[in-house]
Structure 1
């Protein structure tokens, strides 16, 4: 399968794998898209799809189109970007930028309407992107944490 071929993501059909994994991970497993789906928690993919449906154009990684971002979705265990025990490394977290909404607008909406995003358990505040994850919580509701 050629790198420039779009490989759709089950559970998040408006995304392609190239948007969600780093270039090296995609290159390694581009002939095995079923392996790529196993990099993710299904709840995280469903919430990512719901966010795009609600807020419109959304960017996670953009390396496929010549951009610099490749670690805003899945991160390999040896990735030095972000926290040592990041939810990204478990396929449970995403960093999103929306074309028509600021990160704060999305945070405010998700916090005000948690029933629309039942699997989101944590979001990051005080950053210019919208980070969410679906970690197993020890709390009720959506926790906002700061870097």
Structure 2
């Protein structure tokens, strides 16, 4: 079995590209994985890193380690998962699970300390994961939305 390629994300250096894109997308660009940066809004990557720095071990996709999560970071435009205009499809949204904190604990902290997460403009409420995105808002502050 060939060794797995591990490529760090420059704007989120504790993440591998495999943690934020589906396996099929990674395999399409494994010859030039830095091209995958074009799939993401840099603000989203910076907030993803900030969340891991603050809350510790954080999982987005885990397919590299045999897990079932493939679509909690970037989603292709034709992906049937999520909303038609999902922020994931624009490289602006992530679904995170933290080893040491519940999604609600992270939501509560981010809402209480928005200055620490200046690019987060929306988070999803009442789900078992922490969804955040950096969409261009038509509101002030962080909006909590419910699917």
Per the normalisation by structure 1, the TM-score is 0.98
Q: How big is the alpha-carbon RMSD for the aligned residues of Structure 1 and Structure 2?
A: 0.9
Displaced runs of 4 or more, over 6 A: none
| Secondary structure class of the residue paired with 1:81 | coil
- Preserved CA contact (<8 Å) 1:3 1:27: no
C-alpha deviation, 1:35, in angstroms:
1.4
1:13 aligns with 2:13: yes
- Preserved CA contact (<8 Å) 1:12 1:49: yes
Provide the residue aligned with 1:116 in structure 2: 116
Please give the residue correspondences for 1:46-65 in structure 2 after superposition, counting only pairs within 5 Å: 46-65=46-65
C-alpha deviation, 1:128, in angstroms:
0.1
Range with bigger deviation, 2-11 or 15-24: 2-11
Provide the residue aligned with 1:143 in structure 2: 143
Distance 1:77 1:34 in 2: 20
Per the normalisation by structure 2, the TM-score is 0.98
Segments of 5+ residues of structure 2 without an aligned counterpart are none
C-alpha deviation, 1:34, in angstroms:
2.3
Q: For residues 28-72 of structure 1, give each alpha carbon's deviation from its aligned partner in whole angstroms, at most 9, with x where no partner exists.
A: 011112211111000000000000000000000000100000000
Number of paired residues? 146
Cα separation, partners in 2 of 1:3 and 1:123, compared to 1, 3 Å: farther
